[in-house]
Amino acid sequence: MVYDYRLFGKKSALKLSLAISVLHFFIVLIAYSFARTNDLKHSINFMDLVQVNTVVMFVANALLLYILFLFQFRAVKHIDDKRKRTPITILGSLMLVFILSPLFSQVQLLYNEQFSERMFMIINFVKDVVLVIITLLFTALMYAWDMNKGRIVENQKLLIQSLQDRYNALKNQVDPHFLFNSLNTLNGLIGYDDEKAHEYISQLSSMFRYTMQNKQILRVSEELNFAESYIYLIKMRYNESLQITYRIDEKYLDYYILPSALQVLIENAVKHNVISNKYPLSVAIETTENGTVCIKNSVRLKNSGVGGGGIGLSNLDERYRLVFDKKIKVTRDEHYFRVEVPLIKEIEKYNRNIYMSQNEL
């Protein structure tokens, strides 16, 4: 989630403190005005009420509010655990009032002769507790507004990413190299093995149909079917030089995954590594006990530098962050390159992101 922490700065705390203090100041003056009018049975000059004690009250309130807002804003910015943030903010604000209210009351008593010390301390403490409640409400409203703005930004990024993914999928359909290789393979099958040619066309159609769909999330079983179609096509080119193994726990077939996630990783392995009879490429697709699907391939990098500099992986990682607030895990060593993609058991809490991206496309 994107937060605009500038909203929770010293300037905001100062502006809010002054605004609330001014409002409180005029409410008190109006109350004093009515009280004195009733006592004296005649109107009085409003400016007569602006005395040293009311000015001291204004300054004390503004200072207390400023300190409260600063504390609450720091809590919002620095406490990541939402379950701890609220109680810490509330208890901390109350503790500040317990400490500061008596001190500010003593200062105001020097310029107040209307109430006894005990009565004034009680009245001032109750007023300060009310101010705490007001500051907490303002902070909560600002936080809610900031979260909503963050969601809007995230949804916009998700929309842009979804449009980019659909554009890439369409571009891949008409990619000259892909079409050339596919048609060249198909041409070699026609007349030589018509049964395989028909199967090749069926798998090619299945892959194109999958890339044209408008789903933003689907089940693992559907993504595996698409990955198998893609693997079938590229294995026709590489034959036994490309070795694919599956170890998929059936309980994960009804989990959810982002479209083309497996295909992107398989394509990444094929694009970046040497594939030949002497140096076959092995790719393992397997689920893990951590609720992920792992694509692991042997490493023998091409010397030509072909590839997108990790763009496919970074795009996939960004898609997972936007839709599920999760990250893919990439590990590599001298012999293997391994990518783990999270599988989602329940998508209810992500429905808002999915719904927004689907309906804005």
pLDDT digits (tens, 9 = 90+) for 38-68: 554 445 455 555 567 778 888 888 899 999 9
Higher model confidence: residue 35 or residue 317?
317
Residue 286: DSSP 8-state: E
Largest CA distance in the chain: 113
Higher model confidence: residue 139 or residue 180?
139
Question: In which band, very low, low, confident or very high, does the pLDDT at 343 lie, cut at 50, 70 and 90?
Answer: very high
The H or E element containing residue 281 is strand 281-287
**Distance of alpha carbon 101 from alpha carbon 130, whole angstroms:** 12
Position of tokens 């004034």? 120
Residue 238: pLDDT above 90?
no
Position of tokens 């990250």? 327
Q: Which of 41-45, 86-90, 137-141, 251-255 has the lowest mean pLDDT?
A: 41-45
Which tokens is 345 given? 């058991």
Residue 295: pLDDT above 80?
yes
Q: Which amino acid is at 238?
A: Y
Q: Which of 86-95, 168-177, 214-223, 232-241 has the lowest mean pLDDT?
A: 168-177
Q: Which amino acid is at 161?
A: Q
Position of tokens 């992920």? 292
**Distance of alpha carbon 341 from alpha carbon 358, whole angstroms:** 22
Residue 19: pLDDT above 80?
yes
Which tokens is 282 given? 């092995």
pLDDT at 44: 47
**Distance of alpha carbon 120 from alpha carbon 108, whole angstroms:** 9
**Distance of alpha carbon 160 from alpha carbon 310, whole angstroms:** 19
Higher model confidence: residue 245 or residue 324?
245
pLDDT at 328: 92
Question: In which band, very low, low, confident or very high, does the pLDDT at 284 lie, cut at 50, 70 and 90?
Answer: very high
pLDDT at 5: 60
pLDDT at 2: 47
10 Å CB burial of residue 60 (0-12, 13-18, 19+) is buried
Higher model confidence: residue 328 or residue 216?
328
Higher model confidence: residue 33 or residue 90?
90
Query: For the chain, where are the alpha helices, taking DSSP H only?
Result: 10-40, 52-78, 82-109, 117-173, 176-189, 194-211, 220-238, 261-272, 311-324, 351-360
Report which of 68, 53, 69 is spatially closest to residue 120, judged by C-alpha positions.
53
The H or E element containing residue 330 is strand 329-332
CA angle centred on 136, ends 33 and 104, rounded to 5°: 55
pLDDT at 307: 45
Residue 344: DSSP 8-state: B
**Distance of alpha carbon 142 from alpha carbon 8, whole angstroms:** 8
pLDDT at 291: 92
Residue 233: pLDDT above 70?
yes
Q: Which residues contact 210 (CB under 8 A, 6 or more apart)?
A: 225, 226, 229, 259
pLDDT at 212: 65
High-pLDDT (> 70) share of the chain, %: 76
pLDDT digits (tens, 9 = 90+) for 63-119: 999 999 999 998 888 887 878 888 899 999 999 989 988 888 888 777 666 667 777
Average pLDDT over residues 5-11: 78
High-pLDDT (> 90) share of the chain, %: 21
pLDDT at 322: 77
**Distance of alpha carbon 263 from alpha carbon 283, whole angstroms:** 12
**Distance of alpha carbon 17 from alpha carbon 123, whole angstroms:** 20
Residue 339: pLDDT above 90?
yes
Q: Are strands 292-298 and 336-342 parallel, antiparallel or unpaired?
A: antiparallel
Report which of 195, 199, 151 is spatially closest to residue 357, judged by C-alpha positions.
151
